[in-house]
Structure 1
Amino acid sequence: MNEKALFQQIADGSEEAFRELFTLYMPQVYPMIFRMVEDADMSEDILQDTFLSVWTHRGKLPGIVNPRAWLLRIAYYKSLTALRNRKTHRKAAEAISAELRSPFAASTSEESITCKSIIRLVRQAVEQLPPQQQKVYLLSREKGYNIREIAGLMKLSEQSVKNTMVRALKFIRAALEKAGYSPLFIATVLFLNYR
């Protein structure tokens, strides 16, 4: 079946034609995405997002002149967007991490104001943690101790410290999500210096 006929069937709602399109193009689209982002998990997400866009906008498919080029272009732009987001998240997370290590650094840039806002949210969440979770979090993040050192200081098993840290991070993550930050950004901020 030619591509345009396949596109027409997908436009008509055929899931079987959609699966056929995925089988036909996945071996071409995935390697292109992976070459751009160099990350298998991100590549799979972009691949799914690309084909989701095809299905979501299937009403436009009959008007597409070159189906292969159109599909590759969608994947290309989604890959670029993902790379930009990753770079932005990494840059912000590094800035936040630096601010957390040096909370008295003077800066008036817009980026610094955003960082300080996030730091304030994190600190408010930390203040609401149960005492043991708060202590583990602060020893790790502000004092720079690793899991083994915290276990020794608090006379706990390393597994207990890990579990406590996971619960603390889960609570802080929920607070940041409630404030509207994306899960990827939050993961980068919270786990950037996790020891």
Structure 2
Amino acid sequence: MQQDGLILELQNGNQRAFERIYELYSESTYGIIFSIVNDEKVAEEILQDVFMKIWDNASTYDSDKGRFFTWILNIARNASIDKLRSKDFKNKRQNLPSDNFVDILETRTNYAAATDAIGIKKFIGALEPICKKLIDLLFFKGFTQKETAEELKMPLGSVKTKNRACIKSLRKLVLE
């Protein structure tokens, strides 16, 4: 079954189509989730939540607005960032041994591994350095625009404007 037919079947509530979509996309979706939360159990939990959201919200997918995989990745990214920002997650992280933070620090400074998780490293690599930093902080590390402005020592308005321009450049590279 072609992808369009599979998506249509999913939107019609076909459980087999959902199972097939899970088979096709769960591994790469888990990769992006894990690159954000850096915790296997939490990533597995989020993955299940993401696929429940896909099932529940399949009717909202519109192929005119973007690719299906991009839609899934946005759901996964948003769910991961929501989890990172949740009080429950922050409270669990408060009393961790210092060994855990070595990995977190490496992850927070290494966008290359995060971009490899979804296969867009070559596209991001073609962007100017400020765009690489902005995309890494905002999309892969889950920083807010305000946190990004503080991290890069830029005015908040400049971060917003530059981010729009960078995403436009990235979109152009990906769609060419």
Q: TM-score, normalised by structure 1?
A: 0.43
CA radius of gyration, larger in = 1
